[in-house]
Every structure is written in C-alpha cells, then in structure tokens.
Amino acid sequence: MLDKRSEAMNGVERRAAFGLALVFAFRMLGMFMVLPVLATYGQELADATPALIGLAIGAYGLTQAVLQIPLGTLSDRIGRRPIIIGGLLVFALGAAIAANAHSIWGVIAGRIVQGGGAISAAIMALLSDQTREQHRTKAMATIGMSIGVSFAVAMVAGPLLTRAYGLAGLFWATCGLALVGLLIVLFLVPHQASPFAHRESNLARQALGATLRNRDLLRLDFGILALHAVLMASFVVLPLALADHAGLPKEEHWWVYLTALVVGFFAMVPFIIYGEKKRRMKRVLVGAISVLVLCELYFFFFSNSLVALVIGIVVFFTAFNLLEASLPSLVSKVAPAGGKGTAMGIYSTSQFLGSALGGILGGWLFQHGGLSTVFLGCAALCLGWAVVAGTMREPPYVTSLRLPVTPVLVNDQGLVGRLLALAGVTDAVVVAEEQAVYIKIDTKIVDRAQLERLVSQTPVAA
C-alpha cells in the first residue's frame, strides 16, 4: 500500500513549484508585454520600419531557440542554479539595453540579448530535481498555468505601462521583473545539492534519433512553430488594425486583449474536456487550426470595423489558447517511453523558432504588402498546418511514469516483456544508469499500484 503521506506535496516541493512558477511567470511577462505595443509605439523610434519592428518582436526567439537545449544540457554538468541566475542577469541586461535605446536597432539588440537568457529547460530540470515523481505532473502544471496567466496579464499590462511610461518604462519594468525573479531563486527556491538528470526533463542523446524519426512528434513540432509564427505575425499588424483602421487609440487596446483572453480561456475548456474524455483530441486539434484559418481570412475582410475586429480577436484567442494547452499534452502522449524530455526540448526549440520567424516574416510581409498580405500569409500557414495535422494518427491516451527499480531488476532481461504483457502498458524502457524504468500506461486500464508491485518483485531464476 502506498504511504498516504506521499499523496501530498511536502514543504520543499511546494516552495520549489511556487517559486519557480513565479520566476517563469515574471520572465515570460517581460517577454510578452512587448507584443501588443511594439507595432504602434515602435514607430516612434529612429530608423523604424515595419520589417525592423517585426524583427524586434521576434528577435528573442532566435537566441532562445539556439541556446535552449545547450544551456539545459550544461545545467546537468554545472548545476541548475548558476544557469538560471546567469540567464536572469542576461535577460535583465537585454531589457536595460532596450530601455536605453533611441532607435529600433537598440531594441533589436536588447531583445536578442534577452533571448540569450534561455533558462526554461534549466527551470524545468530544477523543478524535476526537487519534486518526487508522483508530484511532478502537478508541479509542471503549476508552471504551465503561470505561463498562461503571465500571457494574459502581459496583454493588459503592456499597453497600460507603455501608456504611462513609454517603451523605455516598459523595458525597465521587464528588467525589474527579472531581478525580482533572481531574488526568488536566491531566497525562496530550495537549494539542491546536485542535478538529478533523468529523461522526463532532460534531453537524452539515446532518445534523440527515435524522437526525430517520429513523424507524429514532428507534426506537433511543426504545429507549435506555426502557432507562434502566426501569433507573432498577427501582433505585427493587429495593433495597427485596431489603431489605424478601426480608430481605437493605442492607449485603449488593453481592454480588447483582456476581453479576448478571458472569454477565450473559458470558451476553450469544454473542448479540452470533450477531447480528453471522448478521446477525440485529433478532431479538436484540426478543428481549432481550421478556426485560425477562418480568423485570419476574417481579419482580411473585416479589419476596418472595431466590433468585427474585437469579435475576431476573441475567437482567435479561443483557438490559440486551446492549441497552446493541447499541444504539450499531445507531445507527452506521443513521445516514446523515456523520451519525453527530449521531445519537449525539440518542441520548445520549435516554438521559439516560430516566434522568431513569425515576427520577421510578419514585418517583411507588412512592409511589402500591407495588413492584408500578413493576414493571407497567416491563413496560408494555418491551412498548411491543418493539412499536416490531418495526416496525424489519433494520439494514444497514455500517461508517462518513471519508477525506480532495484539493481537486480535493472539487469533482468525479462522485465520489459512482463510490463508490456500487462494490460494497459503500451511502452516501457529500462535505463540502467538511472536504475529506473519508464512506462507509458493507459490509466483507464492499469493502475500505478499494480506497476509498483511488478517492478519491486524479485525476478524468478530460469
């Protein structure tokens, strides 16, 4: 029987989950606050062009994508905290560079430096180090929620802060948030003696080949790239459509985004419940992508009406929130046993690449073809994504587990076979160096207690 005390997170786990969620939220808040304001306020900067404003919006994604996996791997060697502390200082430096900029080039430089503080992988790894396996999903969900909340707050706080203090004030606020995050790491997040590398949170070279050959995972990687590319490209032009075409002063854009995000959050929940309970997530995924296609075409035809734009933005964020919440869950389902950390590392890199490409291409398309060209370009990208997603198989509705095994069982050649023979187990792999087995299970068929009994049994001699 499982120890009842293990069912609740202990004090160290709660501090780790809460503290690291705050660090993640403050950092992402600083990234996201720029989105709703740079297209409008950035025009006041010297040398500003639509293409360069788009580059400034997406520039952080370039360095973030390049450094995400290397810094996560480095944290396995030198520790999580040095990487996180150094990354927050680099992020704050980038914000200070942008705050002191008088031209668009200075803002671009600052955003590139900000992206150099690529600490997402190290934060997730530190959270894994400091939480037991049975609580790790809850802790990861806490960070996931913090990202969603930070995005919502940023859409409102960005316009309000910029209205009061200008772009420089916005970047100084971003710098301050990074330094607050640094204090949280130093004084709130528990100290961990040494990194604990495992395949749920870290990239494993042994799993890299299988992950890159998995076509459904590649489809999901393309999906998150397309989603964030469309988001960034849309934010190159939506603020301008609201201000210049629909006549809404840029100081009042905050209420549009607040309405869209609140309504969009609650509107997506029934679809998530339907997809998971009925096991129809592929249908939900393709449906949400199709809604994005229609939204971009809608913007193309009705960008001159404020009421029409607000309705379109609300529907857009409903689909966006649904996809943003669904895609990581699908990656976790599709990834092979022992490959979740590797799959999520590639997925995150794809996300940041999408942000960079979306900002750059959105600005270029706007400069050469105007608002309509950007909307059509986004619609075409979403249409291509819908085709790619339509060829995907229905994902397996499974959960990943990591269970410790004794040194004797690590060398038991029949363990994996016995696990796979158990109803509801779809995949299993023993990792000798961790003295653990990674298992994918359908929780409707098999329960954890059965698995724990099986992996704790002494193998029978032949």
Scan for tokens 């016995």, then name that residue.
Answer: 418
Written in H, E and C, the secondary structure of the chain is CCCHHHHCCCHHHHHHHHHHHHHHHHHHHHHHCCHHHHHHHHHHCECCCHHHHHHHHHHHHHHHHHHHHHHHHHHHHHCHHHHHHHHHHHHHHHHHHHHCCCEHHHHHHHHHHHHHCCCHHHHHHHHHHCCCHHHHHHHHHHHHHHHHHHHHHHHHHHHHHHHHHHHHHHHHHHHHHHHHHHHHHHHCCCCCCCCCCCCCCCCCHHHHHHHHHCHHHHHHHHHHHHHHHHHHHHHHHHHHHHHHHCCCCHHHCHHHHHHHHHHHHHHHHHHHHHHHHCCCHHHHHHHHHHHHHHHHHHHHHHCCCHHHHHHHHHHHHHHHHHHHHHHHHHHHHHCCCCCHHHHHHHHHHHHHHHHHHHHHHHHHHHHHHCHHHHHHHHHHHHHHHHHHHHCCCCCCCCEEEEEECCHHHHCCCCHHHHHHHCCCEEEEEEEHHHCEEEEEECCCCCCHHHHHHHHHCCCCCC
Q: Domain limits of the chain? A: 11-188+210-390, 399-456
Give the H/E segment covering residue 426.
strand 425-431
pLDDT at 445: 87
**DSSP letter string over 37-55?**
HHHHHGGGSBT--HHHHHH
Whether the Cβ atoms of residue 116 and residue 71 lie closer than 8 Å to each other? no
pLDDT tens string 276-292:
899 999 999 999 999 99
Arithmetic mean of pLDDT, 360-373: 96
pLDDT at 5: 45
Instruction: Count CA within 13 A, CB hemisphere, residue 438.
Output: 19
Position with higher pLDDT, 69 vs 137: 69
Indicate the pTM of the whole model: 0.91
Whether the Cβ atoms of residue 80 and residue 126 lie closer than 8 Å to each other? yes
Q: Which of 202-216, 254-268, 397-411 has the highest mean pLDDT?
A: 254-268
Q: Is 149 helix (H, G, I), strand (E, B) or coil?
A: helix
Please give the Cα distance from 343 to 200 (Å, whole number): 9
Task: Determine the distance from the C-alpha atom of residue 148 to the mean position of all C-alpha atoms in its chain, rounded to a whole number.
Answer: 9
Cβ-Cβ contacts under 8 Å for 389 (sequence gap 6 or more): 219, 223, 282, 285, 286, 289
- Decide if pLDDT at 332 tops 70: yes
Cβ-Cβ contacts under 8 Å for 227 (sequence gap 6 or more): 292, 320, 323, 324, 327, 351, 354, 385
**DSSP letter string over 11-40?**
HHHHHHHHHHHHHHHHHHHHHHTTHHHHHH
pLDDT tens string 71-111:
988 888 888 999 999 999 999 999 999 999 999 999 999 99
Q: How confident is the model at residue 142 (pLDDT cuts 50, 70, 90)?
A: confident
CATH 3.30.70.100 fits 399-456, yes or no: yes
Sign of the CA dihedral running 50, 56, 61, 67: positive
pLDDT above 70 covers what percent of the chain?
94
pLDDT tens string 412-449:
888 888 888 888 888 988 888 888 888 898 888 886 67
Instruction: Count CA within 13 A, CB hemisphere, residue 425.
Output: 24
Arithmetic mean of pLDDT, 390-394: 93
Q: How confident is the model at residue 3 (pLDDT cuts 50, 70, 90)?
A: very low
Arithmetic mean of pLDDT, 107-120: 94
pLDDT at 222: 97
- Decide if pLDDT at 462 tops 50: no
Domain spanning 11-188+210-390: CATH superfamily: MFS general substrate transporter like domains (1.20.1250.20)
Instruction: Count CA within 13 A, CB hemisphere, residue 130.
Output: 28
